[in-house]
Structure 1
Amino acid sequence: MSKISKKVCMLGPFAVGKTSLVRRFVESIFSDKYHTTIGVKISKRVVNLHDMEILNMIWDVEGTDDFTSLKPSHLRGAAGILLVVDGTRPKSVEGAKELKLMIDEHLGKVPLLLLVNKCDLRDEWKIQGGQFDNFIDDDNVIHTSAKTGENVESAFTRLNLKMMDAKAQEE
């Protein structure tokens, strides 16, 4: 079985659930306690796809807000991006749009999925259809819940498939 490593950046506005999604994927746990990420926390997990072991080096980057912005150096070498928004906070979509512009500027065309997190709170969602138009294709949007685990594994699997497709196109 072939082995490769891929850097995955988990990006998004402040308090959308990035760290919780990483912990659900890497450790299969969820905690209601909120922990602010300062700088970057790197986690690892191997994903097996098509006779390939892909070591995901997941960079959980601190959230952006009015006082904190993404450092372009955090993006360097990223093979894939998971951009996270909070379904209960429409303002998080605006923050994600700004991040997407920065990603496009510094990385160009890199595999990217938009995770609309907290689908366990769907009754409280304030994000409406069409908010992602001209921003990201609908087929690159996944509704996730770090709390229940819904679509977390499949989001990472899908990103890994997209990264492998991108790698194959480069060769």
Structure 2
Amino acid sequence: MIAKKVLLVGNFGVGKTSLIRRFVLNEFSEDYISTIGVRVSKKVVEYKNETIKLMIWDVAGTSGNEKIPKAYFLGSSAAMFVFDVSREETYLTIAENLNIVKELSGLQNITVVGNKKDLLSAEELENVIQKVSVNIDLITSAKEDENVEDAFMKLTTLALK
């Protein structure tokens, strides 16, 4: 079995913990509990006849100007940057936030995921997609379990490269 450390990063309140809970436990809670520091979850997945143990690091969200300890990023194989499609402040500075994550982690390819799709209409979502300055890999809803598995499989694919 191969073990891979993967990161979920992004502003506070974008749904990183909810995505992980949905993926690992198939649970969703409306309660918001802020992650302090980092929380590690594990899930074993099958990918191309390989068994991979994902060590998913849920890195505490920031409001932009706090420093995230570089130690959280050491040894990571892949990262997912999560933003909230319903909160403009989580995606307007996405390019510079991605650069910070790339600098800290040494990773070049980072999966970009817009979460909380269930809060917007199709038209509103299209407007958000037009505003985001980077390519979005997937739009998810942890609440409705939409594209969550796909997002983590994309992360797994990156981790194995």
Q: Could you say if the C-alpha distance between residues 114 and 66 of structure 1 is closer, same or farther in structure 2, counting changes exceeding 3 Å? A: closer
Which secondary structure does the structure 1 equivalent of 2:8 belong to?
strand
Letter in 2 for 1:59: W
TM-score by length of 1: 0.84
Cα distance change of structure 1 residues 151 and 30 upon mapping to structure 2, 3 Å threshold: same
Show CA shifts across 1:77-120 (max 9, x none): 11010100000011101354333111222333444211100011
Superposition TM-score, scaled by structure 2 size? 0.89
For 1:86, the equivalent position in structure 2 comes to 84
Summarize deviations over 1:25-55 as a string: whole Å, max 9, x none. 0000000011000000000001101111110
1:111·1:159 contact (CA, 8 Å) conserved in 2? Answer: no
Give ranges in structure 2 of 5+ residues lacking alignment: none
How many pairs are equivalent?
A: 159
> SS where residue 9 of structure 1 aligns?
strand
Q: Which residue among 134, 154, 157 is the counterpart of 1:158?
A: 154
Whether the aligned pair in 1 keeps the contact of 2:11 and 2:64 (CA below 8 Å) is: no
Identity %: 36
User: Which residue of structure 2 aligns with residue 118 of structure 1?
Assistant: 116
Contact 1:86–1:117 (8 Å) recurs in 2? yes
Please state how far the C-alpha of 1:137 moved relative to its aligned partner.
Answer: 3.0
Maintained 8 Å contact 1:8/1:57: yes
Following TM superposition, where does structure 1 have runs of at least 4 consecutive aligned residues deviating by more than 6 angstroms? Answer: none
Q: Could you say which residue in structure 1 is the equivalent of 2:6?
A: 8
Distance 1:27 1:95, change over 3 A: farther
**Corresponding residue to 2:145 among 146, 149, 152:** 149
Q: Distance in 2 between matches of 1:23 and 1:61?
A: 14
Could you say what the CA RMSD is over the residues aligned between the two structures, in angstroms?
A: 1.9
2:153 maps to amino acid = T
Which moved further from structure 2: 152-161 or 105-114? Answer: 105-114
Give yes or no for contact 2:94–2:132 (8 Å, CA) kept in 1: no
> 2:43: which partner in 1?
45
Q: Deviations over 1:106-144 (max 9, x none)?
A: 3334442111000111226595233333xx334xx2000
Contact 1:79 1:111 in 2 (8 A): no
Give unpaired runs (5+ residues) of structure 1: 167-171
Matched, 1:54 2:42: no
What is residue 21 of structure 1 aligned with on the other side?
19
